[in-house]
Copies of this chain bind each other. A is one copy, B any other.
Amino acid sequence: MKQKSAPKIIDVARVAGVSTATVSRALSKPESVAKSTREAVLAAAAATGYRINVAARNLRSRRTGAVVVLVPNLGNPFFSQILAGIEATLSSKGLSILMVDTMQSGTRLDFIREYVHPSRADGVIVLDGSLPQDLLRPGGENGKQVPVVFACEWHPHEDFPSVRADNGQGARLAIEHLAALGHEKIGYVNGPEANVLSQFRLNATKKALADLGKTVNEHWFLKGDFTLQSGVLAARKWLDMTDRPTALLCANDETAIGLISELHQCGVHVPDELSVVGFDDVDIAQHYIPALTTVWQPRFELGTTVAQMLVDGISQGDLNPDAPVMTLPVKLKVRKSTAAPKPVASKTTAATTAA
């Protein structure tokens, strides 16, 4: 009795004694058919084991039910929680996620370009602020545009809608915290220079320092690239300095952890000899030793928010024209990696004991 090939809509129609149009309606807009018919169709669908052919529906209805997510680096745990938020929202709307790692696929931009197209996806979420922008506006002015929204990162000179954390406020809170502890010599370990977040956090840091009347010493501003290793290198540079800052804000938690671990290797204790602040509040941060003082970002919420923004844009047929930029609040989590600076050596020396 079993059919060789998968049941199609016409098989269901036959069993239910209705037309294919009715089956289609009963399944996709149940309220548009009579109750009795709906039940008959549902029963027939169950009886035949019918499963819709997604390609056929997509072709005819000119939708895809999918959203492309362009992630800079899937291996980076920072993005995984944002992805989780995106997934939660999109799956609740019946949309699926096409994931593309722009690092991996980076050698062939054409590969990515293929995804930014109405026949592929109903929308695009970009977590990578450094993609060439022409890639996101395919076909210039003509043809249908796929709605594009940014999360976390963004294009500095473009006006795509975006959701981001309040990076400026985060840097300011961190600097104010260090200043309140009594630090006068405060530095910063940057992320990649090409990255908007790095630059934004860097500028906000300098602004906050200036506003507080603190020295902005370029020697205390170190390069980095968001990796653990760049924290290690920053530690070595700090060790080599003659006039060292007493506190360092890092562009992210990885950098802060690499920094602290290398200092530990070299017998330098945090926060006694240097206060360190991270950025992001990854899960490990509060379980690091010392527990990391850091700027918390609502990562899961960033994901749900950007997904919702895109869903709204898709259903409106177009994105909100005034290119909204949503900025979500951050929080400073004060833990154990920051403390008042050590009293200057030339004065009275009451040796501080380490735990």
Q: Are B59 and A87 in contact (CB under 8 A)?
A: no
Interface membership of A144, Cβ < 8 A? yes
Question: Residues of B contacting A73 with CB < 8 Å?
Answer: 84
Taken together as a complex, chains A and B put the C-alpha atoms of A61 and B24 apart, in Å, by: 23
List A139-170 residues whose CB lies under 8 Å from chain B: 139, 142-144
Question: Residues of B contacting A59 with CB < 8 Å?
Answer: 53, 55-56, 58-59
Interface membership of A17, Cβ < 8 A? no
Interface membership of A287, Cβ < 8 A? yes
Question: Residues of B contacting A88 with CB < 8 Å?
Answer: 101, 104
How many chain copies does the complex carry? Answer: 2
Question: Residues of B contacting A53 with CB < 8 Å?
Answer: 59, 119
Q: How far is the CB of A231 from chain B (nearest CB, A)?
A: 8
Interface membership of A219, Cβ < 8 A? no
Taken together as a complex, chains A and B put the C-alpha atoms of A74 and B96 apart, in Å, by: 14
* Closest B residue by C-beta to A259: B287
Question: Residues of B contacting A258 with CB < 8 Å?
Answer: 287
Q: Are B104 and A100 in contact (CB under 8 A)?
A: no
Taken together as a complex, chains A and B put the C-alpha atoms of A277 and B125 apart, in Å, by: 39
Taken together as a complex, chains A and B put the C-alpha atoms of A258 and B52 apart, in Å, by: 46
Q: Are B49 and A55 in contact (CB under 8 A)?
A: no
Q: A52-B119, A73-B84 are in contact. Are A289 and B288 (CB under 8 A)?
A: yes
Question: Residues of B contacting A111 with CB < 8 Å?
Answer: 91
Taken together as a complex, chains A and B put the C-alpha atoms of A75 and B304 apart, in Å, by: 13
Q: How far is the CB of A51 from chain B (nearest CB, A)?
A: 5
Interface membership of A261, Cβ < 8 A? yes
List A100-154 residues whose CB lies under 8 Å from chain B: 100-101, 104-105, 111, 114-115, 117-120, 138-139, 142-144
Question: Residues of B contacting A5 with CB < 8 Å?
Answer: 143
Q: Are A6 and B143 in contact (CB under 8 A)?
A: yes
Q: Are A144 and B54 in contact (CB under 8 A)?
A: no
Interface membership of A20, Cβ < 8 A? no
Taken together as a complex, chains A and B put the C-alpha atoms of A64 and B65 apart, in Å, by: 14
Which has the most chain B C-beta neighbours within 10 Å: A118, A232, A286, A288? A288
Question: Residues of B contacting A117 with CB < 8 Å?
Answer: 51, 54
Question: Residues of B contacting A76 with CB < 8 Å?
Answer: 80
What would 9 A/B residue contacts be, using CB atoms closer than 8 Å? A49-B143, A55-B119, A74-B83, A75-B81, A91-B104, A96-B98, A97-B98, A231-B287, A258-B287
Q: Which 4 A-B pairs have the closest CB atoms?
A: A77-B77, A55-B58, A261-B287, A75-B84
Q: In the complex, given contacts A77-B77, A261-B286, what are 6 additional A-B residue pairs having Cβ atoms less than 8 angstroms apart?
A: A6-B119, A51-B117, A83-B99, A96-B100, A99-B99, A228-B284
